[in-house]
Amino acid sequence: MSESEEPRRFRFEDGSFLALVLIVTVAFAMVIAPFFGAILWGLVLALMFSPVHRRILDRMPGRSNVAALITLLIIILIVILPAAFLGSAMIQEFLHVYAMVQSGQIDIARMFEQMTGALPDWASHWLAARGLTDFAAARQQISETLSGSFSAIAAHALQVGQGALNLVLMLGVMLYLTFFLIRDGEELARRVIESIPLDPDRRRAVIRNFTVVTRATIKGSLIVAIVQGFTGGVTFALLGIEGALLWGTMMAIFSLIPAIGCGIVWVPVALYLFATGAVVKGIILVVAGALVIGSIDNVLRPLLVGRDTRMPDYVVLISTLGGLQLFGFHGFIVGPVVAALFIGTWNIVTEQRRAASR
């Protein structure tokens, strides 16, 4: 064999080697697919708390295991335990409200009739033209409208309720993985960066864009949702509305979806308050919803995300709904991140083409 043929056999671009890389990559993806949620949230937690880990490590250099363990304990204390408490309390409240509906203490059909009866004539005619003045028809229409994207949330919640053991397993895998991602994250990231088959300039640009947009998307979406849900829940509780924790959680979930947001929860409740004669409470809820709850996104998101990395609302809406369809509950993170990476990657292409044409 000649010397000129030796390097050719081991070139990365060799077709058979690329086929092998593709096969083993797909096979590995299939193996870890059942733990997709645990891996995703482990990555999210490691990415969000990496600055905390670096600060702890600066105070105890050379003790990476201890620093990673302390960071993991912080995550458990301020994320996992509050989430578990909130989930348990929300389930209890949901069961309480459901029992009240079943016993007739909460008559949804009568509430619907009161709301539609209090509307002005033009609104009543508009609803009648669409067959929404009858409660049964309205319920069916709303169910059909929301069944596409939002059914993923309900299906995931049902799976969680039916698979408590699986939930514990996923939580254990997530925390175990998070520890190693926190401890070895920089080294793993370096290896991944080195393995990307791109020239150094493009590789650095892609990785920088990935880090910025992922952290910004996650931080902006989750923190805004938590603050809006908490504010909405407190408002409902102060007004004496039944199921404040449940409604606050629903507002946090819907706030992740642009063009829908918290208004899908508090607007019908405000209309019901007006229809039942609780005008003062209705006015307070409208003012709080429009001026406080609704403005949180406009105030917090630019501070957390920055205007340069903020995507248009219509892109966030489509990518969030598409993510929910493809990945279930995890889609509200995956969808916007993929969209942000798509936009960022094409921005890199555009900038390099402009630089090349100068």
- Kindly write down the DSSP assignment for every residue of 208-235, as one continuous string: HHHHHHHHHHHHHHHHHHHHHHHHHHHH
Domain edges within the chain: 51-105+154-195, 107-147, 199-358
pLDDT score of 77 = 92
Q: Which residues of 246-272 are buried (b: 16+ CB within 10 A; e: fewer)?
A: bbbbbbbbbbbbbebbbbbbbeebbbb
- 3-class secondary-structure state, position 70: helix
Structure tokens at 167: 């939930």
Count CA within 13 A, CB hemisphere, residue 172: 6
pLDDT score of 253 = 82
CA torsion angle for 74, 75, 78, 82 (degrees, to 10)?
-140
pLDDT in tens, the chain (358 residues): 444 444 454 455 566 777 887 888 889 888 888 888 888 888 888 888 888 888 998 888 888 889 989 999 999 998 888 888 877 777 777 777 667 666 666 655 666 666 666 566 666 666 666 555 554 555 555 445 444 444 544 555 555 445 566 777 888 889 999 999 898 887 887 787 777 777 777 777 777 777 777 777 777 778 888 888 889 889 988 988 877 888 888 888 888 776 677 888 888 888 878 877 788 888 898 898 888 887 887 777 767 665 555 667 777 778 888 888 888 777 877 888 888 778 777 877 787 777 777 7
pLDDT score of 3 = 47
